[in-house]
Structure 1
Amino acid sequence: MQIDLTGRTALVTGSTQGIGAAIAAGLAAAGARVGVNGRTPDRVEQAMADLLGREPGADLVAVAADVTTEEGAGQVAEVLPDVDILVNNLGVFGQADALEISDDEWRRYFDVNVLSAVRLTRRFLPGMSERGWGRVLNIASDSAIVVPAEMIHYGMTKTALLSVTRGFAKHAAGTGVTVNSVIAGPTHTGGVEDFVYELVDRDLPWDRAQRVFMKEYRPQSLLQRLIEPEEIANMVVYLASDQASATTGGALRVDGGYVDSILP
């Protein structure tokens, strides 16, 4: 399948590392102009340098802004007033005892993982609708459906993101804009490596630690390994393309079979 996103402008929030960086690279490789987002100019510039090393000639735009705030969203719009492909990837996660999560921490997770996506969708969806083409993609998680006992506050936000996705898809009905979520399974990123080592013996080599983590904490996985960020990016690039024009309001799984369901 030949995917050509030439002429499209994309914004990927939280794209200085991990899944976001892989998505930015995938969209750039398909020809899109890609806004690389992080909170500080230094991190954004470093991420762009890394991406250019992976995709020489990529058309990248530095978007240093905290999208968890109204001010930050406004700064994004100043740099990229018209976005054709919005990928709400920014998110935080971590383990915590369910009875010890404070009100402030519940609010922080919701602000970062849900409201940042709502805020940017609200800002860019009208322009997409007026132009008759657009893609909004929210990066959700298997935790939205199989809520981990060690991070229910994270699971709650990802469940909410599925609802947000379906609702905005209905709002965009008939406009030529599609709105979908991608349910990412356990994925190999630097942050996840740290998370794994919070749960298993830190003295184990990574390959062994990963296997122990999947066996003890994610035994439902049919893949029986962590997913690589590029595998998530492949789905995002497809959903951002013209070829996915009839897919909207969906929750598409790249979860390694982790969610025990025959429905997508």
Structure 2
Amino acid sequence: MDLDLGGRVALVTGSTQGIGHAIAVRLAEAGAAVVVNGRDGSRVEAAAKQVRDAVPDATVSGVVADLTAAQDVDDLLLQVPSLDILVNNLGIFGAKSALEIEDDEWRRYFEVNVLAGVRLIRAYLPGMMERGFGRVVSISSDSSVVTPVEMVHYGVTKTAQLAVTRGFAKVAKGTGVTVNSVLAGPTHTGGVEEFVGQLVGSDLPWEEAQRRFMREHRPQSLLERLIEPGEIANTVTYLCSDLASATTGGAVRSDGGYVDSILP
């Protein structure tokens, strides 16, 4: 399958590490000019260099922006006025009792996990529609369908993300632009290693901690292991390609069989 993204410009938000960084690398490998994003300049620079090291002939740039801040978003739009591919990867998560989550934290989760992506879709979608091509992919989660008791606020924002996807896909109806979400399952990132430590103890060797976490907290997984970021990136890259032209408005699963459903 030819996933040629040559000539396409792609922005991956929150791409200095983890899933976002893996997506940036994979899109670059497919030929896209990739814009790496994060809030810290040194980390953005380092991440862009890592993509260049992995894909020596890639066109890679970095934009420092806190996407919850209106001025930063305006600055990003000045630096990157037009896109072919928008990957809304930015997100936060963390374990906390639902009864202890206060209003300000609920607002913060919605601001980062939902509204930051909405702002960028609103900014870039019209140009995509006018040109007759575009790909918007938001990185959602199995938690959008199976609300985790240890982080209800995260699950709720990821559910909202699916509705955002479906709604904007309808806005782009018939234009050649597709808008999708990817339901990522439990994935092996630095942040998840910390999260696993919170739940099963940070003193355990990693392999034992991972097995215990999957057994006790994610027993629905059919893989019975954490997904690697590159596996999520493969799904995203396909959705960004011409080959996925008939897939839009969807919640595409890359969840290791975690969601117990015969439907997507």
TM-score of the aligned structures, taking structure 1 as reference length: 0.99
- Cα distance, 1:237 vs structure 2: 0.2
Tell me the distance in 2 between the aligned counterparts of 1:176 and 1:203.
Answer: 51
Over the aligned positions, Cα root-mean-square deviation in angstroms equals 0.7
Structure 1 partner of 2:225: 225
Structure 2 partner of 1:40: 40
Structure 2 partner of 1:209: 209
- For residues 139-176 of structure 1, what are the alpha-carbon distances to aligned partners after superposition, in whole Å with 9 as ceiling and x for unaligned? 00000000100000000000000000000000000111
Tell me the distance in 2 between the aligned counterparts of 1:139 and 1:169.
Answer: 15
Structure 2 partner of 1:103: 103
- Cα distance, 1:67 vs structure 2: 1.1
- Cα distance, 1:209 vs structure 2: 0.5
1:190 partner amino acid: G
Tell me the distance in 1 between the aligned counterparts of 2:114 and 2:157.
Answer: 6
Deviates more, 1:75-84 or 1:86-95: 75-84
In the TM superposition, structure 1's runs of 4+ consecutive aligned residues that sit over 6 Å from their partners are none
Q: Which aligned pairs between 1:79-94 and structure 2 lie closer than 5 A?
A: 79-94=79-94
Tell me the distance in 1 between the aligned counterparts of 2:42 and 2:75.
Answer: 16
Q: Which aligned pairs between 1:96-245 and structure 2 lie closer than 5 A?
A: 96-245=96-245
Whether the aligned pair in 2 keeps the contact of 1:89 and 1:139 (CA below 8 Å) is yes
- Cα distance, 1:102 vs structure 2: 0.8
1:89 partner amino acid: N
Q: Equivalent residue of 1:129, what SS?
A: helix
Whether the aligned pair in 2 keeps the contact of 1:186 and 1:226 (CA below 8 Å) is yes
Structure 1 partner of 2:254: 254
Whether the aligned pair in 2 keeps the contact of 1:70 and 1:119 (CA below 8 Å) is no
Whether the aligned pair in 2 keeps the contact of 1:196 and 1:213 (CA below 8 Å) is yes
Whether 2:24 is the aligned partner of 1:16: answer: no
1:196 partner amino acid: V
Structure 2 partner of 1:57: 57
Structure 2 partner of 1:76: 76
- For residues 95-145 of structure 1, what are the alpha-carbon distances to aligned partners after superposition, in whole Å with 9 as ceiling and x for unaligned? 111111010000000000000000000000000000000000010000000
Q: Equivalent residue of 1:49, what SS?
A: helix
1:24 partner amino acid: A
Deviates more, 1:222-231 or 1:199-208: 199-208
Q: Equivalent residue of 1:151, what SS?
A: helix
- Cα distance, 1:201 vs structure 2: 2.5
Q: Equivalent residue of 1:82, what SS?
A: coil
Q: Equivalent residue of 1:138, what SS?
A: strand
